[in-house]
Amino acid sequence: MGFTMSLNLLLLVAMVATNILSLYHLSCTIQTSVKPPAPPPVPDRLLHQLNTIRATINRLTRLQPTTNPATKATAGTATIPSDLLLYSLISPIATSCHYHPDLLHRYMNYTPFSLCPQDSDGVAETLILRGCHPLPRRRCFSQTPPKPTSSLSHNPFSPSLPDQNVVWDKYTCKSFNCLVRSYPNLGFDLSTEATRLMSYRDDLDLPIPQLLQIAKAANSVLRLGLDIGGGTGTFAARMKLYNVTVVTTTMNLGAPYNEAVALRGLVPLHVPLQQRFPVFDGVVDLVRCGHAVNRWIPLTALEFMLYDVDRVLRGGGYLWLDHFFSKGVDLDKLYAPLIGKLGYKKVKWATGIKANSKNGDVYLTALLHKPVSK
């Protein structure tokens, strides 16, 4: 037994000695070996890209929702507000496209790397009015006029608009003169449009000089404006002459309204009334609601629009409801309380009976001043 213990002790001492010699030899080899050359410096652009990637990863990590056991337990039983579901159908989000697969298929059925179909704008507008804003066709080319003129007038009230700058295939009329003759009240007769919004006939009118005078008296500067449902852009054209920039929302419902606005040297926004305005918060001095804003808009959609107007309108700005028409009883019970929710000061509030109306329709012209702070 003693011999066995002595042998084990000897083996242990040998193993330790061997490890010590190995470590000594390794350290000597490292010390005497030639040092490798220093690596080349990392280019600054790679360091910048690396920092950008790190910052992006950190931001995405912070944006990840934290898992709360209590929240997870109650998420399945939480009641979804009905307003959220309602607005999800009004707002231009992709879910609305799901309800119109036939139109969507028709819109996306085209030959790649060729001209887009002639009915592209009509189908797109039909989808947009139903709350579906489809992705643009990525692999076809938009049709353009074959021989457009390059000599465009800077005068927004020029005697006529050039026909050769419009693709007329999708319209019944094939010229602006045809539109003027067939539909004299659509805003394409620029000689008539030159006198609009400038004179006072009754309490429902708010001439632009009077609007500017009201703003000046309140020390409120008008520089930027939004005209909702502005047709051919007459309000924006008139305000341009007063050095006020106004963009116009309009749709091509049976006539080239967007083209007409652009040919007058103005900016058309091809958006429906129910869409969130592509304008940042609190940057607009004036919002005008033209004849397109009326009782035909569903009440919920109108409320959505008014609160989006409040979003883009700066404190101290103005909301102008120009000849809003509805039934008299609805104005008192529905629309006036809805407008009153905004909490704006009434600068002008005038009502009048709509001529030749058999439904008891009335007009409302209101100029409302948004408080600087709420």
* Per-residue pLDDT, 146: 86
Mean local confidence (pLDDT), 131-160? 81
The amino acid occupying position 179 is L
137's tokens: 């066709």
Question: 263 near 165, Cβ under 8 Å?
Answer: yes
If pLDDT is split at 50, 70 and 90, which confidence band does 104 have? confident
For residues 128 and 300, the model is more confident at 300
From CA 23, how far away is CA 56, in angstroms rounded? 46
* Per-residue pLDDT, 356: 77
From CA 150, how far away is CA 70, in angstroms rounded? 66
Question: 371 near 343, Cβ under 8 Å?
Answer: yes
pLDDT higher than 90, residue 193 = yes
Q: Where are any strands of DSSP class E within the chain?
A: 114-115, 140-141, 224-228, 245-249, 267-269, 284-289, 313-327, 345-353, 361-369
Mean pLDDT highest for which of 74-78, 132-136, 181-185? 181-185
Angle at 237 between CA 164 and CA 201, to 5 degrees: 120
pLDDT tens-place string over residues 333-359:
999 999 999 999 999 999 998 877 777
SS3 state at 220: coil
pLDDT higher than 80, residue 319 = yes
Mean local confidence (pLDDT), 237-247? 96
